[in-house]
Amino acid sequence: MLTVTDAQALILQHVHPLSPVAMPPGASLLGHVLAEDVTADADSPPYDKAMMDGYAIRATDLTSGQAILQIVEEITAGRIPRQPVGSGQTSRIMTGAPMPSGADTVVMVERSRLLDPQRVQFDDRPPKPGQNVLRQGREMRRGETVIAAGAVLRPQEVGVLATVGRSTVAVVPAPSVSVLSTGDEVVDPPDVPGVGQIRNSNGPMLTAQVGRAGCLPCYLGIARDQLDSLRPLVEEGLCADVLVLSGGVSAGKLDLVPDVLRQAGVEAHLHKVAMKPGKPVFFGTRRRADGNGSVLVFGLPGNPVSSFVGFELFVRPALARLRGRAVAGPELLTAALAEDFSYPTDRTTYHPARLEVGRGGWSVRPVPWFGSPDLLGLTRANALLVLPVGDALHRVGQSFDVVRLDD
Ligand code: AMP
Ligand code: MG
């Protein structure tokens, strides 16, 4: 049986970033991967710029720190200076305004005394030549690459895209992800579960996981464990970039999902992973009719925590790669066990846990949890503690791999 790491590597071999699209700068760009090198269209600042409200002077006029200078002009931001500043002269200047020719230094207004509208007195330490002036092109030079392809866009990058005048930019789009629950016993609210029935927690939960991964979920409802219920919904789900199913993938009598997928032309790449919870994970691909890559298909076991963990370990990294992320995850940390913990297991176990910053680094404590149906136990967790095979008693302070779930 494949290990989790081997399964993750195998899945990523079949995943390629989606083709770029053009999007305008704004909140919708957040988290997207840039698909082009973005260059500066002009120097920034485009001129030598005052960084303070004060007086534009020639530093050589104030080598002693003391002088009375003649005011030739007032320059506010957005105005073009008209008067050169000669020796013995100064211009009153506001933050952001272009420096007048001749001046090289700005003395802040608090360090001056206005004698009358035409004269200002300085009596202080001598200014450093060039102080409070941002030189043309100091931030960026025209033609220079300011954000390289592959960058994950955050608000500061969005601001730079606007600075260089981009009205659209090429990014890797968010994949569309269909979510399909399966099971004769599964009911959606407002139905009250009868004997042997269970509420459909996985549909909304997986939809939320898709959303958290920055992708566009499309919830298809519940398919019954019958071929004529499964087939059309699977076919609908295959129209998206990714189809995620829950339930019906194990070896039970009515676990029809793998067969239905094969009949729909999905090529199976894996169908079991050595892990707990969630061993019977299915992953396959179907080539698109237009020849444009493949649809990814994940079948996750129906127990809610199995579905959740399978999504975090296998689906989420695949979505990250589809989005063009170089690092697909999941993020693995090393943490020290906060208390002794006995957990005999015959398969690597991803146990719900709380990860905290301890004195010497990360600290992890398993939360009470009774297994794959216990979704409420998972709400007390922010991480999965990776427990190795064996019947070892794990000791406080021992180091473990931990999958971080929350940002
Ligand atoms: P399966 O993987 O179909 O064998 O289902 C395993 C267990 O998960 C069964 O007890 C199901 O009732 C339960 N289950 C399946 N689908 C869901 C769902 N959408 N929400 C909650 N529990 C489910
Ligand atoms: Mg089932």
Does residue 310 have its Cβ closer than 6 Å to ligand 1? no
Reply yes or no on whether the pLDDT at 396 is more than 90: yes
DSSP string computed for 85-136: --TTEEEEE-TTPBPPTT--EEEEGGG-EEEETTEEEEESSPPPTTTTEEPT
Reply yes or no on whether the pLDDT at 407 is more than 80: no
Given pLDDT bands bounded at 50, 70 and 90, which one contains residue 329?
Answer: confident
Amino acid found at 172 = V
**Ligand having the closest approach to the CA of 299:** 1
DSSP string computed for 275-292: -BS----EEEEEE-TTSS
Which ligand 1 atom minimizes the distance to the CA of 373?
8
> What average pLDDT score do residues 159-186 get?
97
Measured by CA distance, the residue closest to atom 10 of ligand 1 is: 303
Q: According to the model, what pLDDT value does residue 406 have?
A: 85
| pTM for the whole structure | 0.92
Amino acid found at 158 = V
Which ligand 1 atom minimizes the distance to the CA of 182?
16
Instruction: State how beta strands 176-182 and 216-223 pair.
Output: parallel
pLDDT in tens, 39-95: 999 999 999 999 999 999 999 999 999 999 999 999 998 899 999 999 999 999 999
**Ligand having the closest approach to the CA of 186:** 1
Q: According to the model, what pLDDT value does residue 12 have?
A: 98
Cα-to-centroid distance, 251 and ligand 2 (Å): 10
HSE (side-chain half, CA atoms, 13 Å) at 372? 19
Residue of higher predicted confidence among 307 and 25: 307
Does residue 372 have its Cβ closer than 6 Å to ligand 1? no
